[in-house]
Chain A
Amino acid sequence: MVNLTIDGKQVTVSKTATIYEAAKEVGISIPVLCYAKKLMPYGACRFCLVQVEQMKGRLIPACTTPVSEGMVVTTISDEIKKVRKTVMEFLLVNHVLDCPVCDKGGECDLQDLAYELESTSNRFEGEKFDLPTDEVNPLIERNMNRCVLCGRCARVCDEVVGYGSYSFINRGFETKIATAYDRGLSCEFCGQCVSMCPVGAILPRPFKFKARPWQLKEVDSVCGYCGNGCTLTLGVLNNKVETIRFNDKIGVNDGNLCVRGRFGYSYVNHDERLTKPLLRKDGELVEAEWDEALQVVADGLANAQKGQGAGILSGARLTNEELFVLKQFAKTLGTQNLDHSGGECYKGVTEGLKETIGISASTGTFPQIEKANVILAIRSDFYETHPVVGMVVNQAIRRNEAKLLVLADKRGKLSKLPGAKTLLTKPGLELDILNAMARVLLDEGLAQTEGVDGIADLQAALANFSPAQVAERTGVSAEQLQAAARQLAGAKNSAILMAYGLPYQGLNKELATAAANLALLAGIPGREGSGLYLCGEKANSQGAIDLGILPQGNGMGAQAMFTAAAAGQLDALYVVGEDPLSSYPDRDRIAKALDKVPFLVVQDLFLSPTAQQADVVLPATSFAEKDGTFTNAERRIQRVRRGISSPGQARADGAILTALAGKLGSSLAFTGPAAIFAEIGKAVPAYATCSFNEIGPQGVVWGGESLQPASRKVVAVAGGSEVEGDFRLVTGSALYHSGTVSTKAKGPMAVLAEPYVELSREDAKALKVADGDLLKVAGNGVELKLKAKVGNRLPKGVLFAPYHFAEAQVNRLYKGEAVIAVKVSK
């Protein structure tokens, strides 16, 4: 800690603090323009200049200068005022000042600063900028006439996003921010530069002329897409979400958002949203009143219970409170057949972790990833599935020189980060690599074995996993394997990242087990600063695990329910917030089950392909329309807040469930999120740490920042097996989408509107296909026609098809395996 004096006030701050931060601590605000909390010190605008007694004769930038013991700082004086005002005059000479039509007007840092400095006149004169605006893409508009060259866009895109769209070009007064070849922006459209631009130079196009900032009601909530739980702020006008804003002051994940969170909101206002219950009458789905629909559902489910039984399947985007009520409802109905998407996709992951570390959750929090020295990312490209965690990894590398190891079957964006080492293996063989790394740790005496059970068995089981042997099978060199293992074990803090989701079902349990083995041997779980991270696909995947939305007693899980239904052994299926027909592996089997099941109820936002098969469709509400909590992949319980009311007669899941329970004669009531949250605490002790109203902007991490494993047991896992054939297909998540709902959102669709199959340049050349050509992909007895997307991410012989697009029916090909042998032709 360092002591200093600022404007006569004594301050004690950490020795890494800057003068600006120290001043802030004691409530002294120094004007800034180019400074941004989450970016590295830059010092371009010079508004933050202050005087320091010990550095006489100069003015000192507060935002870049670290504090030192005994420093005496003056933040305002006639001299400082004069200089700041001159700098403002300079800035305003050429600035267009078209505030009346600038979307930033009202929340523009330049306006605010000019106001604060009372810059009423200008001694200088010059021509206004007259540069063309960049409106090449549908999401982000760039108007360089308003740019103040603070560099924040370029810095965030580089330091945080890791994309690197922008660079400074030209020198002197002609300096400007440009995209590659100055051609207009074409990037991954995370909108982070929009968030960072202090002026109206980078603006979200969908928001143009929609509202003045002060007209917007701002509601801090949680992103409804993936399990990262990024805080996002709904910008609401007239009961419509007009834009998504960010909160880098107190929000989770520093206000960072990806394209889905930032631009994927419009499905909320989509005109295809269901507004009334639908009942199948004479084979047609027709609108009905709630009471009638609920009665039909209640009767149908009760009837089924009298027969072969009903099953309930939920998605993982319900709030914890709704999930809790759902579980109660299952009890009321008297069925043990309960599951959520996890049952299908990541049951194995939870099981694998349970067997080894005794818990089914990440052991650390994201801020610890940023401080990690070595990071191992397994299988998934986090930049695609969990973009903001990808950004955290990028920051760890750029700020703290973390070393990144990527174990994957493709070279995604993570592999391109500075210094990243990719252990590129054939799809399905990730397991072998993890095993080999474990073996290296054991062989070289680097493993932490004390207090870990099962070492001897594991050792024996790893007989065929020497680095040399595994190198032979996987194509990753023995030296690389050894180096990676040593790096992981030798680091002060390490992180192992694993993602799960509907398209990543194959070898799930094995991978989780192998990863946990490695983590245990490297002493990671429970160690302060280190962690094993399990990142769920959906906004509340972790909540669903925590609350046990799983088969009860001897009940059936998702897979069993579909099998039973297809075999005519289940009489009703109640699907809440999920579109299994589009997103579950093995579409044909799901279709058969939906066809066969005598009574199908679907509760959703849209008339999804699954809903189209239903007997009753109940209109539900989106995350923007409800209050409650989500639990993210760090175990962070966060508040979801209602920003708008639901369209038409759509009702929140909790309200529907309790109404149904009422029809069934139960007194189950939706007593409000706070009360139910308290109820959850009674059933799930981890959730008893706080009350609903105590959940602050940073949420509450159950189990604490570093969760101790409940057991430490290594369990042998067999290796993967290579799939024969010339081509192997893997499915997964694409950066711009999440599940199926993002295909109803304009933003993601503006960037990625169509299904595709991605292949390497080498394969494309051999097959003589170009971008956009139709390719026939055949396997598992099915043939699909998909547009080719040629790139250099994939190795030869590997294809990738994202699973989000219902119409592509990729899940007819994909039946849950880690990798599918396919034939490809033009």
Chain B
Amino acid sequence: MAETAENIQVLICTGTGGFASGAQSVINAFEAEFAKQGVEAQVGKRCDIKKTGCRGLCANDVLVDVIIPGQESVTYDFVTAELVPQIVEEHMLKNEPVVKKKAGPYYTQFLEKQQRIIFSRCGTIDAESLDDFIAHRGFTGIKKAVTMKPEEVIEEVKKSGLRGRGGGGFPTGVKWSFCKATPGDHKYLICNADEGDPGAFMDRSVLEGDPYGVIEGMMIASYAIGCKFGYVYCRAEYPLAIKRLQKAIDTCYEKGYLGKNCMGLGFNFDMRIKAGAGAFVCGEETALMASIEGERGMSRPRPPFPAVRGLWGKPTNINNVETFANVSYIFYNGADWFSSIGTEGTKGTKIFALTGKVKHTGLVEVPAGTTMKEVIYDVCGGILNNRKFKAVQAGGPSGGCLPAEALDAEVDYDSLIKAGAMMGSGGLVVMDETTCMVDIARFFLNFTRVESCGKCIPCRIGLKIMLEILERITHGNGREGDIELLESMAYDIKKSSLCGLGQTAPNPVLSTIRYFRHEYEAHIKEKACPSHSCKPLLHFKVIEEKCKKCGICPKVCPVDCIAWEKGQVAVIDRDKCTECTSCYDACRFMAIE
């Protein structure tokens, strides 16, 4: 249905977050309410419900916008079906927005420093509607591209300065030109939507909220490089993204946008989705191709690079979801526009997924050059419970952590690497003072050690040994020399591993040692965890100055060994204590060490 200024619009988030919070029942409630109240007749306007994609503030789902023509749109958060009659009654019929349920000022703040380009359609258009896509400049990029020679298209992408958003940051135009230069007329295009980085879900949201935008980016690439067939390798754990993308592909085929002579523009492009098995390593391009070929997801040596010998031995170009999404916008607005955003080395915007101890978790899109501090404090409202910030892990299991003193690092491939982290795919895990940095390193190692494909010795065995050393340290069995041993082996593993997984897996260890060496030392020498987070190192003693005498811990103690009286500091009887950690978990003031 075309958008008209006359209609009242209700935008409901139907991203994975939205659905998880009950978007479907909210939609049903709106529809039921419209019918029950005869809303359209009463207000004399059509009421459209739009099922949008993710808007970024997933923790506050279900997000609903009510847009009455001529008025500013009003955003509600935490909307439930029960709330709907009130919104309809007061806001839509009486034109009195339900102020108490409106998203607070944090929402405006959340949006203020963002520059939502890739996300400009996510959360505003109906994700499943081709018409809505077209009404929002959809497919104008490919139409513009085909007026240029393929070589010129690649030049344009080079000029834009776009670098791959999958983690490596390789200049996209240059990558395309490699694949184009390889002889042969059977070439493949792959969109990497594996997104195995724990806590990251940027690509999922883009696919759910703007599937056509990704298809368009791929069409432009296929035209430029000369790929006749494309795969979207999407992890099977993203059913909604797969469903929406499949629907979009089907629609494109129906309308002649894909297939032979796409849109009548004179080139052929077929595409299909390949659901991945959910292994982190399958995001690595050579393992990904092996997986599409039906083999075990195991990395292969490069060279030969995919551009020369890729999928089924044919030249192949692989880019990330967000990269393709960017391409569409470069062709809507031009390379000059794109390269005017960002820093010298990093152009355009980058989407981040914020998780951890930050007030507003979710997805944010900021122009390159924004500092980490701005992302965490200005956009996401700072640290949860007003605790002290300790570090932010950028780049997931491949990345590193940045402490407070490094928070001025900008969103920029090079400056993040210089600071000891990396852009990666865009996962940011925010940690506060209660997080033990040795334990964080152990957490990521535990992830990569399991996800290693097992092919090469340093990654397969080295990571396991590294994890065992970290476990030993967090259990209070650290030894003199462990830090040096970790550093030495980390270096060798990075140098000798076959693929990016092993080459980067030791990063969390190295960066935590770099910035938080003292925490390692405390564990090893004093057998103490400064953040009181490593349970085996707890002393089960109440810190008098910290105890707020709240009386919660005695209630949870299963063996009744905590003595407490109103107004008194609690005392734990160490003889009776079984070290079950119930009291530790229960204490909100971190008063038990």
Contacts and interface: CB of A to CB of B under 8 A. Distances in A.
Interface in B2-53: none
Interface string A124-145: 1010000000000000000000
Nearest to A47: B457
A168 B298 contact: yes
A789 B150 CA distance: 60
A43 B301 contact: yes
Given A66-B303, A83-B492, A86-B496, A173 B457 contact: no
A93 B450 contact: no
Contact of B463 (A86, A172, A174): A172
Contacts of A168: 296, 298, 454-455
Contact of A91 (B301, B461, B493, B497): B461
A618 B313 CA distance: 59
A173 B458 CA distance: 10
Give the dominant DSSP class at A's interface: loop
A41 B301 contact: yes
A49 B497 CA distance: 10
Contacts of A149: 454-455, 457, 460
Nearest to B459: A172
Contacts of B495: 49, 58-59, 79, 83
A44 B279 contact: no
B370 interface: no
Contacts of B496: 46, 49, 59, 83, 86-87
Interface string B328-357: 000000000000000000000000000000
Given A44-B455, A46-B456, A173 B296 contact: no
A149 B453 CA distance: 12
B449 A173 contact: yes
A126 B455 CA distance: 19
A45 B462 CA distance: 12
Give the dominant DSSP class at B's interface: helix
A121 interface: no
B464 interface: yes
A167 interface: yes
Interface string B253-284: 00000000000000000000000000101000
A720 B496 CA distance: 62
Nearest to A124: B465
B451 interface: yes
B458 A90 contact: yes
Interface string B293-309: 00010101101100000
Interface in B442-474: 449-458, 460-465, 468
Nearest to B453: A171
A87 B465 CA distance: 12
Interface in A309-334: none
A91 B457 contact: yes
Given A90-B461, A124-B465, A45 B456 contact: yes
A173 B492 contact: no
A168 B453 CA distance: 10
A171 B303 contact: no
Contacts of B468: 126
A416 interface: no
B458 A175 contact: no
A249 interface: no
A58 B453 CA distance: 21
B485 interface: yes
A177 B229 CA distance: 34
A93 B296 contact: no
Contacts of B463: 172-173
A401 B496 CA distance: 32
A269 to B, nearest CB: 41
B406 interface: no
Given A171-B279, A172-B449, A173-B460, A46 B497 contact: yes
Interface string B482-502: 000100110011011110000
A89 to B, nearest CB: 9
Interface in B489-526: 489, 492-493, 495-498
A183 interface: no
Contact of B301 (A42, A93, A123, A171): A42
Q: Give the one of B281, B452, B495 with max A CB within 10 A.
A: B495
B301 A167 contact: no
Given A42-B301, A94-B461, A172 B492 contact: no
Contacts of A44: 455-457, 498
A86 B296 contact: no
Interface in A155-171: 167-168, 170-171
Contacts of A148: 457
Contacts of B492: 82-83, 86-87
A90 B497 CA distance: 12
B458 A87 contact: yes
A94 B452 CA distance: 17
Nearest to A168: B296
Given A43-B301, A58-B495, A172 B465 contact: no
Contact of A172 (B298, B301, B460, B485): B460
B458 A64 contact: no
A170 B297 CA distance: 11
Q: Give the one of B465, B485, B489, B493 with max A CB within 10 A.
A: B465
B465 A90 contact: yes
B296 A401 contact: no
Given A58-B495, A83-B492, A86-B496, A171 B462 contact: no
A46 B459 CA distance: 10
Q: Give the one of A58, A86, A94, A149 with max B CB within 10 A.
A: A86
A85 to B, nearest CB: 9
B457 A45 contact: yes
Contacts of A82: 492
B460 A401 contact: no
A175 B303 CA distance: 25
Q: Give the one of A41, A151, A171 with max B CB within 10 A.
A: A171
A44 B465 CA distance: 18
B60 to A, nearest CB: 36
A469 interface: no
B457 A46 contact: yes
B296 A167 contact: yes
Nearest to B454: A175
B385 to A, nearest CB: 36
A552 interface: no
Q: Give the one of A79, A151, A175 with max B CB within 10 A.
A: A175
Nearest to B448: A172
Given A49-B496, A168-B298, A86 B458 contact: yes
A171 B456 contact: no
Contacts of B450: 171-172
A388 B64 CA distance: 69
A61 interface: yes
A674 B489 CA distance: 60
A171 B453 CA distance: 5
A65 interface: yes
A437 to B, nearest CB: 28
A164 B227 CA distance: 32
B452 A86 contact: no
A419 to B, nearest CB: 11
A170 B449 CA distance: 12
B37 to A, nearest CB: 56
Given A46-B496, A126-B468, A173-B449, A90 B457 contact: yes
Given A46-B458, A58-B495, 4 more contacts: A44-B455, A66-B304, A86-B493, A91-B461
Interface of A: 41-46, 49, 58-59, 61, 64-66, 79, 82-83, 86-87, 90-91, 93-94, 123-124, 126, 148-149, 151, 167-168, 170-175, 401
9 contacts: A44-B456, A44-B457, A83-B492, A86-B462, A90-B462, A90-B465, A149-B455, A149-B457, A172-B452
Closest 6 CB pairs of A and B: A175-B454, A43-B301, A64-B301, A86-B492, A90-B461, A173-B464
